[in-house]
Amino acid sequence: MEEIFESASQATGSLAGVFEFDGETGYFYLYETEAPDEQKIVGSILIFRDVPDVSGMEIAIRWDRQERRVGLFINDQLWAVFDSVSGEKFGGDYRPNTAANISPDVAACFQ
């Protein structure tokens, strides 16, 4: 399987949302770019294991307007969110043809 790596930083560059698929497992990370190497990952959300067809997936990472929340979009659907202020995380557990478990209030931040 092909590997996938996508990321998007805040305008300040201090935080980034990072998606990594190593051919077997996909994770979404909140990443502190200026921290020491062993402390860069602030949080993680398991997105999937052993997804049979990632080649058709379109992965995008977007920050909300306030650059407080960062979201992972798979094929234009929000699948995971980190709130960089509160430390909360939402979603994950991607399954084709289903919807993520993310509250409408959180999802509305990206519209």
Domain count within the chain? 1
- Position 24 scores a pLDDT of 87
- For residues 72-95, give the mean pLDDT: 94
Containing 108, the helix (H) or strand (E) segment is helix 104-108
Q: Has residue 1 got a pLDDT over 60?
A: no
- pLDDT computed for residue 3 by the predictor: 82
**Does residue 29 register a pLDDT over 60?**
yes
Q: Mean pLDDT, the chain, as a whole number? A: 91
Q: What is the pLDDT of residue 105?
A: 94
Against a cut of 0.85, is the pTM above it?
yes
In which order are the strands placed within the sheet that holds 59-63?
59-63, 69-74, 77-83, 89-91
Q: What is the DSSP string of 73-104?
A: EETTEEEEEEETTT--EEE----TTS-----H
| Residue range 36-83, pLDDT digits in tens | 989 999 999 999 987 656 666 889 999 999 999 999 999 999 999 999
Structural domain span for residue 29: 4-108
